[in-house]
Amino acid sequence: MRDWRKWIAVGVVVVFLVAYVVTLRIMAPRLRAMARQEVQDHLQKHFKSSVHFDDFDVTLYPRIHVVVYGLVLRHNGRTDIPPLIQIRRVSFYTTLTGLLRDRPEIGTVDLDGLQIHTPPRTPGGPPMIHGTDENLAEKYPIVIREIRADDALLVLLRKDSDKPPNQFEIHHLVMNDFGFDRPAAFHALLTNPKPRGYIHCDGEFGPWKAEEPSETPVSAKYTFFNADLGTIKGLRGILSSTGTFAGPLDYLNVEGTTDTPDFGLRTSDHPMALHTDFTAIVDGTNGDTVLTKVTAKFLHTTLVTQGEVVDVYPKVKGRTIALDAVANNARIEDFLTLAVKSDKPVMTGSADLKTKILIPENDEDLVDRLQLDGQFGLGKVHFTSSTVQGKVDSLSRRGQGKPKDEQISDAASDLSGKFKMNNGAIDFSNLSFGVEGASIALAGSYNLDSGQLDFRGKLRLEAKLSQTMTGWKSVVLTPFNHFFEGKDGGTELPIKITGTRDHPSFGLDFHDKDNKK
């Protein structure tokens, strides 16, 4: 009797399994078509995009397995730009019980060959991806436990198709517990294109703002390492940075620090440690950045800047950097060590600096593109060359009418002026050099690469011309005091400074008509 019941039970189970398998076989094509249509409708509505699949496959046993091949989403159906999203293969697993929960659950989604091309956007223009009035959290109360994408590519397209886009290689991306009503934890490793280096991020993304996707919040900690500044022409050094960013996608607040132990410019052979603390606002949809404050420290100098890094010229590669920079109580020898190749700086002293910095977008050498427009003041200047300092000491002695007083030595100078730099050359105006007993007013130019000097101006001495000499020379020059007398007495002479920074030449400039009385 018991054996009979057992075999009846086994028979029922077998019949049920056969019926289940046959049903699946019969219903599979229809279920496959329904699933394909559901996925296609969802993607088309969610991303406002036309949707295309190369192939679509659904397996129902032993677990539900969906594979989409050659997925292409074109934003608003546009064919004049690359697709919004391309995925070579989408694969995910779930179970029947997972789908029947109040919040349907999918285990793991793998995105192979993911490429995202953000549509071009004009600054201040409408969002790249238009929102939807639908409540996606209610309509699709789904939870994806893990989304994985390796070797993906994020491309920020430019408004002008002739301008190369910014590309970010995403080596590894994982998102956990993704849903439309909650933030999803994420971990990412990607390559920054310029300066080229690796970025490691851990944070949260979402919940997705269906009514305005660009307002979707994100927050994370990041580490930027092994960034080669040599990928920017004119710079050297390996940069690292740590910090945080948070906010909506189009208005991210970023705070962080950078360290470059071997920072250098092309014009200098003296790498140095550079540290910065910065705060910025970044539009994650197009890469434009507002630098609210950057404090840079090198040697004994602190430079504070603010400005922006933006895409100004549609057909030109790169971004335009426009900054305002201020340095107070800095050291002139630090700036000279940073900028020139001399074994030692030509002078030492305190420095105050205020300048506008403009680096137009291009792929040329940064130093050649650098434009400056500012003013400076130097105090208690001493020259490191004994020859040059000797001439300054002699100038002070003669200016005071004490040409033989050797106690007047190591004279401190003051220097101030306005400057403009373009194409590696600096033009100075209102350049004033002062030492006890004498002052010089100059204008001229200096070339960063060659070190060539060309300055013209006037030398003013407190003493009369004859008092600058001794013995018979003083007697001979006495009749000429009147010819070179300044407005306030003393002496006024036309002078020139030529030669190079390492071998300057000082002399009178009687051939310069502009300096003649």
pLDDT in the model for residue 259: 96
469 in any annotated domain? yes
| pLDDT over 90 (residue 375) | yes
29 band by pLDDT with thresholds 50, 70 and 90: low
Give yes or no: residues 170 and 282 share one domain: yes
Q: Which two tokens stand for residue 303?
A: 């430079």
CB of 428 closer than 8 Å to CB of 443: yes
Strand partners, 197: 192
Q: Checking DSSP bridges between strand 105-112 and strand 143-156, what pairing results, if any?
A: parallel
Residue 339 CA: distances (Å) to CA of 80, 234, 267, 296, 449: 46, 11, 6, 15, 10
**Neighbouring C-beta atoms of residue 4, cutoff 10 Å:** 8
CB of 465 closer than 8 Å to CB of 482: no
Q: Which of 459, 413, 457 is nearest to 435 (CA)?
A: 413
157 in any annotated domain? yes
How many domains are contained in the chain? 2
Give yes or no: residues 84 and 165 share one domain: yes
Range of the domain at 103: 24-123+134-301
Angle (CA) 111-116-120 rounded to 5° is: 170
Give yes or no: residues 286 and 341 share one domain: no
Q: What is the pLDDT of residues 435-456, one digit of tens each?
A: 898 888 999 998 877 888 899 9
| pLDDT over 80 (residue 168) | yes
The whole-angstrom separation of Cα 235 and Cα 497 is 31
435: Cβ–Cβ under 8 A, 6 or more apart, which residues? Answer: 392, 395, 396, 399, 411, 412, 413, 414
Domain boundary among 301, 319, 354: 301
Secondary structure (H, E, C), 23-40: HHHHHHHHHHHHHHHHHH
385 in any annotated domain? yes
pLDDT in the model for residue 186: 92
Tokens 């420290």, residue? 297
Give yes or no: residues 364 and 490 share one domain: yes
The whole-angstrom separation of Cα 433 and Cα 378 is 9
The whole-angstrom separation of Cα 491 and Cα 462 is 7
| pLDDT over 80 (residue 494) | yes
419: Cβ–Cβ under 8 A, 6 or more apart, which residues? Answer: 355, 372, 373, 374, 375, 376, 426, 427, 428, 429
| pLDDT over 90 (residue 280) | yes
16 in any annotated domain? no
145 in any annotated domain? yes
195: cis peptide before it, omega within 30°?
yes
Average pLDDT over residues 302-318: 81
Average pLDDT over residues 89-115: 79
16 band by pLDDT with thresholds 50, 70 and 90: very low
Give yes or no: residues 42 and 153 share one domain: yes
Least confident of 19-23, 63-67, 85-89, 374-378: 19-23
Selected residue with higher pLDDT from 516 and 465: 465
Q: For the purposes of burial, counting CB atoms within 10 Å of the CB of 332, is it exposed (0-12), middle (13-18) or buried (19 or more)?
A: buried
Q: Which two tokens stand for residue 500?
A: 């190079």
Selected residue with higher pLDDT from 346 and 97: 346
pLDDT in the model for residue 302: 96
Q: Which of 177, 166, 160, 164 is nearest to 116 (CA)?
A: 166
φ, ψ at 267 (rounded to 5°): -80, 0
Least confident of 9-23, 147-161, 419-433: 9-23
144 in any annotated domain? yes
Q: Which of 291, 292, 347 is nearest to 320 (CA)?
A: 291
Tokens 């030595």, residue? 409
Q: For the purposes of burial, counting CB atoms within 10 Å of the CB of 311, is it exposed (0-12), middle (13-18) or buried (19 or more)?
A: buried
pLDDT in the model for residue 1: 46
Give yes or no: residues 334 and 272 share one domain: no
516 band by pLDDT with thresholds 50, 70 and 90: very low
123: cis peptide before it, omega within 30°?
no
Give yes or no: residues 244 and 346 share one domain: no
Selected residue with higher pLDDT from 489 and 322: 322
The whole-angstrom separation of Cα 241 and Cα 229 is 13
Residue count (the chain): 517
| pLDDT over 70 (residue 119) | no
CB of 347 closer than 8 Å to CB of 380: no
pLDDT in the model for residue 292: 94
Give yes or no: residues 278 and 340 share one domain: no
Tokens 């040697």, residue? 299
pLDDT in the model for residue 378: 92
The whole-angstrom separation of Cα 398 and Cα 437 is 8
Q: What is the pTM of this model?
A: 0.76
Domain boundary among 301, 320, 346: 301
| pLDDT over 90 (residue 324) | yes
491 in any annotated domain? yes
DSSP state of 174: E
54: Cβ–Cβ under 8 A, 6 or more apart, which residues? Answer: 69, 70, 71
63 in any annotated domain? yes
Q: What is the CA radius of gyration of the chain?
A: 36
pLDDT in the model for residue 27: 47
Give yes or no: residues 88 and 218 share one domain: yes
